[in-house]
């Protein structure tokens, strides 16, 4: 047994159809043993013979019980359902793409001694079966995706948001306290001077549901606490692609319940969110409404992402004017978060749901954003549902401009404070 070198994308052997195995002998057994050892060493979930330079129809797959299944001359004989999710490959290191596969598969194959058997799998193991058998026909997963996201891109995005937060917040006169909320990182931002208020803001950070953390949250939570005098609670909801829908929604509910247990009362709590956090704030209200629970005092939405179907005209008309977002980026993060769910589901696109009985809402957006339509359409839908709503469009501004140290950001924060204090 030995570790074999994994060949990388661009090598000719990865584009050729493998020949069937006809001799079940010691050479085959050695190949299978080496494939298993190489797979375990690499930390993957599957490995095919062409990935180590051997053009034979042989592969190994690790199931969700960490058992390695040997497949010789495999073929998929039945499929059912559909799953969409993030997929990578040992031959395409450091890159990931959103790929749709069958949710359940049935495979017919031979074992190392030539005996035929059938195996059924679903979820991740079904995905691995399809992925590895495709290798035997000279195909790579990259053929199924229109955009590859590198680990570096995702981690860079997450690190940059953390750095931004650490460099710009908290503001002077603030107390900042991090703590664990049932294993979820959370933080309070409060004025140092006692004010006797029992009002709070639950802040949901943005980041396309794929990035964002307490560091990122410190920027806007600090500004909100400063202009309102309210206590601001931020939290690190679980991120996609590792934790797709509904993980973030569940974590937002946990943060809301914590505030209620602390005795703030729904009538004294506003929910704020930027970008994907605005989406999360709206979905949180949907969940509270469906459960027959009391709604928050108000919603403060900054450049909210409300329509994952991307139906608004600004997705096409404002591409050149938006310095922050691209349609390609939005498509990538929504697939990571939503998977194969129907994008018309109001838990993904709250714009498309019933907004009746929602709390008074302030929406702020820049007129250069590709998400402009999401805000304008939401304001119209809220008004149609007889919900008090104010839409503020800032000329020449970009996505979540409130985070930046500019006059229009300060003016937007002051307006948010007035909105709350006037209720």
Tell me the three-class secondary structure of 271-297, residue by residue. Answer: EEEECHHHHHHHHHHHHHHHCCCCCCC
Clarify whether 242 is annotated catalytic.
Answer: no
Place of tokens 């005098």: 229
Helix orientation angle between 407-422 and 214-228, rounded to the nearest 10 degrees: 60
Structure tokens at 199: 């009002």
CB 94 within 8 A of CB 152: yes
Q: Which residues contact 369 (CB under 8 A, 6 or more apart)?
A: 303, 314, 318, 322, 324, 325, 375, 397, 398, 399
Burial code of 36-67, b = ≥16 C-beta within 10 A, e = fewer? bbbbeeeebbbbbbbbbebbbbbbbbbbeeee
Structure tokens at 189: 């931002």
Residue of 118, 120, 122, 132 marked active site: 132
Q: Tell me the Cα Rg of the chain.
A: 25
Helix (H) or strand (E) holding 40: helix 26-42
Helix orientation angle between 214-228 and 151-168, rounded to the nearest 10 degrees: 30
Helix (H) or strand (E) holding 48: strand 46-48
Q: What is the DSSP letter of 329?
A: H
Adjacent-strand bridge partners of 191: 174
CB 45 within 8 A of CB 62: yes
Task: Say how many CA atoms lie within 13 Å of 187 toward its Cβ.
Answer: 26
For residue 22, count CB atoms less than 10 angstroms from its CB and return exposed for 0-12, middle for 13-18, buried for 19 or more.
exposed
Q: Which residues contact 35 (CB under 8 A, 6 or more apart)?
A: 4, 47, 49, 52, 58, 59, 60
Closest CA to 206 of 279, 283, 275: 275
The 3-state DSSP class for residue 332 equals helix
| Residues marked as catalytic | 132
């Amino acid at each position: 047994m030995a570790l074999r070198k994994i060949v990388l994308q661009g090598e000719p052997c990865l584009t050729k159809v493998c020949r069937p195995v006809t001799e079940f002998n010691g050479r085959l057994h050695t190949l299978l043993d080496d494939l298993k050892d190489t797979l375990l060493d690499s930390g993957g979930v599957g490995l095919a013979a062409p990935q180590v330079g051997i053009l034979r129809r042989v592969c190994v797959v690790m199931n969700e019980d960490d058992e390695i299944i040997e497949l010789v001359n495999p073929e998929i004989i039945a499929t059912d359902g559909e799953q969409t999710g993030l997929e990578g490959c040992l031959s395409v290191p450091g890159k990931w793409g959103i790929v749709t596969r069958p949710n359940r598969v049935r495979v017919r194959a031979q074992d190392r001694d030539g005996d035929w058997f059938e195996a059924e799998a679903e979820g991740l193991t079904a995905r691995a079966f399809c992925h590895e058998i495709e290798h035997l026909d000279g195909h790579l997963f990259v053929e199924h995706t229109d955009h590859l996201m590198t680990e570096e891109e995702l981690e860079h995005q997450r690190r940059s948001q953390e750095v931004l937060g650490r460099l710009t917040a908290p503001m002077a006169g603030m107390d900042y306290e991090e703590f664990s909320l049932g294993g979820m990182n959370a933080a309070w931002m409060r004025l140092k001077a006692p004010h006797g208020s029992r009002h709070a803001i639950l802040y949901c950070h943005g980041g396309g549901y794929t990035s964002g953390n307490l560091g990122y949250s410190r920027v806007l939570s600090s500004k909100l606490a400063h202009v309102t005098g309210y206590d601001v609670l931020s939290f690190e909801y679980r991120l996609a692609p590792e934790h797709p829908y509904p993980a973030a929604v569940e974590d937002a509910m946990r943060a809301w319940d914590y505030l209620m247990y602390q005795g703030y009362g729904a009538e004294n709590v506003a929910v704020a969110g930027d970008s994907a956090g605005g989406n999360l704030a709206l979905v949180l209200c949907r969940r509270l409404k469906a459960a027959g629970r009391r709604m928050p005092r108000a919603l403060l939405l900054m450049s909210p992402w409300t329509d994952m179907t991307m139906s608004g005209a600004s997705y096409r008309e404002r591409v050149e004017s938006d310095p922050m977002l691209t349609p390609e980026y939005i498509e990538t993060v929504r697939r990571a978060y939503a998977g194969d769910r129907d994008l018309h589901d109001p838990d993904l696109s709250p714009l498309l749901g019933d907004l009746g009985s929602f709390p008074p809402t302030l929406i702020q957006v820049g007129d250069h954003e590709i998400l402009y339509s999401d805000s304008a359409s939401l304001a119209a839908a809220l008004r149609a549902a007889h919900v008090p709503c104010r839409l503020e469009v800032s000329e020449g501004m970009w996505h979540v401009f409130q985070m930046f140290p500019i006059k229009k950001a300060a003016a937007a924060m002051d307006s948010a404070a007035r909105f709350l204090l006037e209720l």
